Structure 1
Amino acid sequence: MTDSVIEVRDLRKEYGGAVAVDGISFDIRRGETFALLGPNGAGKSTTIEILEGYRHRTSGDVRVLGVDPQRGGLSWKARLGIVLQSTGEAGNFTVRELLTEFAGYYPDPRSVDEVIAAVGLEHKQRSRAGKLSGGQQRRLDVALGIIGRPELLFLDEPTTGFDPEARQQFWQLIRTLKAEGTSILLTTHYLDEAARLGDRAAVITDGRIVAIGRIDEIGGPEARTPMVRWRDAAGVRHEQRTTTPGAVVSELQRAGGEPDSLEVVRPTLEDIYLGLIREHGSESESESDPTPDDLRADVTESA
């Protein structure tokens, strides 16, 4: 059994003359939560659709749970859990009916009651899916993604529409799944979410990975160097990037007492992410959408 649940080498996807994914490589280790981060149009969705087997690649090598997604059968798909950005599930079925139906698709599903409780839909289990609020619908999406007890869980913007309390509950659910050994690929625009849940992350822009590593190391030492900011007696603003902020503050205090507006700022994952995006200059804010002919070609290849 390999230590990696996902192996990607030189993955490339083109739509006509447009390059959506430009030769990226990465692994996701068994049992880890890996965050794939990037602006709209960076190539995240295309990459994930290839990994899930929904879209064919132009070139490169991909293995998901040891299988080429382009050749994954039903037994392979049963080992995956997928939470898309939107699902459009039939609104005439109740929460419980949908989960019961989906549980029947898997050889070893979770208890429907357990899953309903895990996503906080106990009071809505008899409600029709079409009558749920946006946040409740998102909880149902997550429930459908985990009902099959997946080895590998894809979470694409999972907490969109969640209020702060619901997001905290969801984070605890993900920690529980991780403790059970579930491997997770997460995409999110909430950088605090990636920082709390992720073991490692990759930042992708314009179809290329510009940084990859542990959450507490990504961007390198320089990007994580603290900044000391203060105003002098004349009101002039100063800032100094330093690995020894305590020493800088002590020196300032010795020189003239407590500086005005003194603060020590330690870069967050969001600061580092934004710096990487600025440095590598995303060329567009929206991913080049495939044309109808592109989509038909992918469907023909998959048939």
Structure 2
Amino acid sequence: MDARPSTDETDPATETFVAHRNLLFTVAYEMLGSAADAEDVLQETWLRWVKVDLAQVRDQRAYLVRITTRQALNRLRTMNRRKEAYVGQWLPEPLLTAPDVAEDVELAESVSMALMLVLETLSPTERAVFVLREVFDTGYDEIAAAVDKTPTTVRQIAHRARRHVDARRPRRVVSPDESRAVLESFQRVLETGDPQTLLDVLAPDVVMVNDGGGIKQAALRPINGAEKVARFLVGALGKNTSPVAVAPTVVNGSTALAVHLDGELDGILALSIENARVTGLYYVRNPEKLTRAETETPLTLR
């Protein structure tokens, strides 16, 4: 069920929820990495929000974020159990995003595939605290109320999570022009299938992660190193008897490629780029995760 109350209604609860809906979705998505689960969280948030006495709420935005965070935490713990039974590697659900997301450096980095994967290594509470503090600049008291901890404990969790993420996140922000240039080079390489040119585009320590979810064929473990990644890509392209079309797109605020076989979307290949080379490749083939890859999803930090 979609948490989109009718705009024909004019009651204050509905107006406030609709006004902050994109923010709440972004909070839930960054905590969960799944648009479908984020939508479920918003539905649960809405059902609780309409029962609130608004006269008793000083900051309605903060209150909504608090409800969303609590519901997302509950969902995240359930998802972690599902991931244990997931076939192969689990990648966040790619979202087709509008150009303004890519232009907002802070937002684009926070939803990038690379950072979302780093967030997967945090505990549910650490992830919630990190997202609220580092991404949405939420105060410690507000976070404490959302995660049911003391402000002092939240500060400690935030420090630990920040240190963990900083040690693993990309080392620098890449300009849109640099991203486009590398993407165009990589796209040409895929179209020609030349192994040596491919090696020139890949960083020596590049990592490729594939997500087929047990539905589509995919490598079950990460592929490490330029030579192994190049061999995998060239081999995968060579096995396809159907026409392959590769087109640039923007998912999660970053450069990516949409791969089509016989005119149908086969998967989204997201890239991480540093020093004009590809350092990370994240290929989502699981069709259940491609429902947001062709229609823009609005995201916001405000």
The TM tier, using the shorter chain, reads under 0.3
| TM-score normalised per structure 2 | 0.22
Bigger Rg, structure 1 or 2: 1
Q: Which has the higher strand share?
A: 1
More helix by share: 2
TM-score (norm 1): 0.22
